[in-house]
Amino acid sequence: METIVVAGGTGLIGKKLIAYWKNKGHVVRCLTRNESDVRNDLYHWDPSKNEIDTAVFKDMTVLVNLSGAGIADKKWSNDRIAELYSSRIQPADFLYSLTHNHPTLKQYISASGAVCYGFEDDLKVYKETDPFGKDTLSDITQKWEQGALQFQSFVKVTCIRISVVLAKEGGALPPISKPVKYGFGAILGNGQQGMPWIHINDLIRVFDHAMSHQLEGSFNANAGNTTNAILTKTIASVLKKPLWLPRVPAFALKMVLGPMSSVVLLGLKADASKLIATDFKFEYSDLEKTLKDLLL
C-alpha cells in the first residue's frame, strides 16, 4: 500500500485517479486551494502564496503533480500564456522546495503533454527520444518536465505525456460530440491534423502502472492516432447523425481563437511503444469501440 499525495487532484483526471487508488486500498491525499478537510483527505495549498498544510506529506511515498491551467480553457492573451507557464512551473518548484530529500518519498509522477514535439512533420510518429518542438506548447511542456526533473536527485521521476483524453465528463469529447449530437457538427480546418488519443480509464491505468512498476523517464500515453476528420466522422457514425455542414475554414478559427487556434488546427502523431514495452496493455485501442463506450 502506498501513501500518495496528489496535487491538482480536483480536475477530471485527478478525481478519477484518486477514486481509483482509494478503491485499491492506497492512502490518497489531495492538495486543494480550498480549506483543509482532513477527514476527506483534502489539504490546503496555494503555490502562488507559498501556502500549504504540510501535514499532507506525512509518510508520503508517491507524489503526483497534475497541476496546470487548461490549454484550451481560455483564449491566449499574453497573460493567459504566462499563466499556462506559471501554473505548471510554480507548483513543481514549490513542491520540490518542500519535499527535497523527504525520508519516505520514492517516486515523483508528473503530468506532461504529447504536444511537446511540435507540428513540423505531419507524417512523423514521434517517440520520446525525439526533441522538443519550437512552438509555444512544446516550450511549455519542456519547462513543465524540467520542473519534474529536479526531483531526480533523490527519487524516481516519471513524466506522463498525456494525449487527447476522451471522457464523458470533460476533456475534448463533449465539445466535439455535442454539436454533432444536435446536427451541427463540422470538421475543423482541413481535418487532417493528427490527434493522439486515450480513453480516460486507460489513462488512469497508465498512472497506476507507472507507480506500481516505478517507471522512470517520459512516456507517451496514447492508445492510437487519428485525425480531426476521422474523429468527427466516427462520432457522427456512433451517434447516427449526419455531417452536413461544410468544414470550418482555418481562417475563421484563427479569427475567433487567435493564437489558440493552433490547438485545433495543428496536430501530430505519437508512438506509445515505450510504454507498451513495460507490459502495459490498453483496454481501449479501437476508436469506434472507445466512442461507443463513452457516448452510448
Query: Is 119's pLDDT higher than 90?
Result: yes
The Cα 8–Cα 21 span in angstroms is 15
Kindly tell me if the per-residue pLDDT of 255 is higher than 90: no
pLDDT tens-digit readout, 149-196: 999 999 999 999 999 999 999 999 999 999 999 999 999 999 999 999
Residues of the chain above pLDDT 70, percent:
100
Rounded mean pLDDT, 218-234: 97
Q: pLDDT by residue (tens digit) across 121-161? A: 988 999 999 999 999 999 999 999 999 999 999 999 999 99
Of 46, 29, 47, which Cα lies nearest the Cα of 38?
29
Q: Which CATH number fits domain 3-295: 3.40.50.2000, 3.40.960.10, 3.40.50.720, 3.40.50.300?
A: 3.40.50.720
pTM given for the model: 0.96
Residue-wise burial string across 172-205, b where 16 or more C-beta atoms lie within 10 A, e elsewhere: bbeebbebbeeeebebbbebebbbbbbbbbbbbb
- Residue 196 zone, left/alpha/beta (φ > 0; ψ -120 to 50; rest): beta
Mean pLDDT value of segment 38-57: 96
Band (106; pLDDT cuts 50, 70, 90): very high
38: alpha, beta or left? (left if phi > 0; alpha if psi -120 to 50)? alpha
**In angstroms, rounded to a whole number, what is the distance separating the alpha carbons of residues 250 and 261?**
8
Question: Has residue 273 got a pLDDT over 90?
Answer: yes
Average pLDDT, integer, range 264-279 = 96
Q: What is the mean pLDDT of the chain?
A: 96
Domain coordinates in residue numbering, the chain: 3-295
Predicted confidence band of residue 261 (pLDDT cuts 50, 70, 90): confident
